[in-house]
Structure 1
């Protein structure tokens, strides 16, 4: 339940924090702790260049993500309240107007019945039972990739875990599930990277990637109408063709590329960030190796400290909402900083300490790495399973895995995320 906000004079706010600025992109936790120390909320310029108010405490983050007074689609804000249309904001950033529709038809961008309609079409694919049935396939893919790692090592015996394991595992799993042909998966990896790296100074890069992705999905849909294969894509095509009211053509296209991108990007960086955390904390690594039964709780801790999303999508207040750390006027936007909630000292003791036993004995998820409320991550069970399989297999296959002195991990400073571009590792001790 939301409590009344303390008297807050937002007129005394500092200059808005630019969430696309280098300091936030490269060191988001430092900025988040400054916001916490200054009162728990602050004005920001969000990733799309529009103003908002960001909140870092767990209680406020959960309220923003679950309270029905907040919506993700500004079209659902009552008339007369000042909002900026998403399409106009995207065009102002340089995106082609004919492509913008595909960025506003996503499952992630819908509220209420529209969101429930789209979610229902794919939710059965991600039930715990269906995910458990996929475990053998995930284990096989993981084993094959790990067996091939030495083939990718350089002359010093060093291999980049991001390129050769952290990315290939989840993109193979989700492409198998959705029905993306093997020959096309390298292109999906490249497209998703271009989308994540969006630079307002070079909008043509995103326009090119998004346009190519849309054309590719359209071609896959046409091919499946003639040659169905019995996978998720076939099911979505049938939902479109047999009852067009359930799914528009643009929604179908958007749903496909949203599932593929969301289904591998976040998991890939969980694997990268999680491996780095383990290797930088040898006491926790030793604890996990001595007790593999800790894998589920270890994955939760990796999600808490190294989950990919720093920030959730901005929400619009349909009426004035008084949060614990500030007020969001009707029609204005609130940003839930996921990493802020996951490092809230009121919820997580010593929040910056990495502890693979932290989740033991706690029901549910103490973190919000998968979100909260109606938009809770559809693929959470699959991501957790991939994490458990990947880390378990990695540590078993290469028990002497280590970081490489003089070759530190390379961060990928994409605003609003925690991700690595490279994670050089040595599979076995170097020969003397």
Structure 2
């Protein structure tokens, strides 16, 4: 996993197909982090990437204007219809004035205050899903991923965007396809998402309602720099894509809490700890292992190693979030932890810090609070494997989460 290659400047190499990396990325990246702040990621058919393993270095790179996101940073599933391509380029792929303009127009809709105001509309969605859990039981066990964590984010997005109730069954299918990962079902869902988003934008232009699109239309009335319909549709697509993060965060969080009974008991005893617990869970078992690769605009040198213009550079979130230089006793899971000035990198950092972070936090807090309140005897189903995870080098995610209620 960590053979040294002289032409890579003597830095360690990490094989993304290595079973140790896939099964325990925190430990695998941690070993490399303590050897070197810089490593190389390798996988068959993939261009080698540089990876920063330490917290301070990762933060610095993510806010360094020499490193930019571009279309080369993003994968596209094959077979996307031509008419959908205009909506695929999101703010994540933009830099400079173009990115700043869109961020300025959209960010007021995603503040922490707006997330708090939206909580009363998330709560009934959560309660409704929990009401139906017992109906999905088989041999006394329920898959919490399939029947709670996975459907929740798309339900929230539908409410946020203003998708009509009659269209929501189709959007639930879209959400399941997106959450399941990059495959044919994902590609097949894209045209429907785009058409539904276009219809929602057109409807709100004609008759505003109590939703995100209507708020953006109202707030930008008379603004020459306002969002176009194409940009509105692209925003909805971005929400569907990025808005699935709580799926894996909630599932990972529940599994982690159930495997740490002392911490779970402390949280049950004091639900006021929930905001801090969600931050610690994001640090400890957040789903995103690596940031979207950046590309240097010019040749740079890092730790004595020359990195050429355009070579992909990523940050290992899973490693930075366990860096002892940034966190005291980082291998201890502690829901009372005060992250201090360092802060985890679960939502990245810098100009491309996740726009929906406040909404994701609120959604996760509400989901965990209601779940623990409704099911005081919640437990992993007997015989649950220690790690029933999908071997994905980019995302720490479960294949299923069978529990007893």
TM range (shorter): 0.7 to 0.9
Task: Select between 309-318 and 169-178 the one with higher mean Cα deviation.
Answer: 169-178
Residues 150 and 179, structure 2, Cα contact 8 Å, conserved in 1? no
**What is the CA deviation profile of residues 343-397 of structure 1, one whole-angstrom value per residue up to 9, with x for unaligned ones?**
11222233232111122xx546621101111111112222222222222221121
Report the counterpart of residue 404 of structure 2 in structure 1.
Answer: 426
Matches of 2:115 and 2:9, distance apart in 1 = 50
2:252 is matched with 273
Give the conservation status (yes or no) of the 8 Å contact 2:91–2:102: yes
* 1:142-181 pair list within 5 angstroms: 142-154=126-138, 156-181=139-164
Structure 2 CA distance for aligned equivalents of residues 336 and 21 of structure 1: 19
Pick aligned residue for 2:237 from 244, 257, 261: 257
TM-superposed CA distance for 1:232, in Å, is 1.8
1:390-405 superposed matches below 5 A? 390-405=367-382
Contact 1:60–1:325 (CA<8 Å) still a contact in 2? no
d(CA) in 2 for partners of 1:14 and 1:61? Answer: 17
Q: Give how far 1:102 is off.
A: 3.4
Q: 1:48 to 1:142 in 2, by over 3 A?
A: farther
Distance 2:44 2:53 in 1: 16
Secondary structure in 2 matching 1:407: coil
SS at match of 1:134: helix
Counterpart residue number, 1:113: 97
1:335 to 314, 323, 329: 314
Residue in 2 that maps onto 1:102: 87
Distance 2:25 2:167 in 1: 34
Q: Provide the rounded CA distance (Å) in 2 between the counterparts of 1:132 and 1:326.
A: 45
C-alpha distance after superposition, 1:203-231 (max 9, x if no partner): x5544332333233234334444444342
1: distance between equivalents of 2:24 and 2:296? 28
Aligned residue for 2:233, secondary structure, equals: helix
Aligned counterpart, 1:79: none
Q: Secondary structure at the match of 2:327?
A: coil
Q: What's the CA shift for 1:259?
A: 1.3
CA-CA distance at 1:135 after TM superposition = 2.1
Give the TM-score normalised by the residue count of structure 2.
0.86
Number of residue-to-residue matches in the alignment: 399
**SS state of the match for residue 310, structure 1?**
coil
Q: Which residue, 24, 34, 39 being the options, matches 2:36?
A: 39
Of 47, 57, 61, 2:58 maps to 61
Query: 2:68: which partner in 1?
Result: 71
RMSD: 3.2
Q: Tell me if the contact between 1:158 and 1:425 (Cα under 8 Å) persists in the aligned partners.
A: yes
Task: Describe the SS at the equivalent of 2:334.
Answer: coil
Q: Which ranges of structure 2 fall in alignment gaps of 5 or more residues? A: 1-5
Deviations 1:256-310 (A, max 9, x none): 11113322x1112111100100000111111212222221111111000111211
Displacement, 1:328? 3.1
Contact 2:154 2:175 in 1 (8 A): no
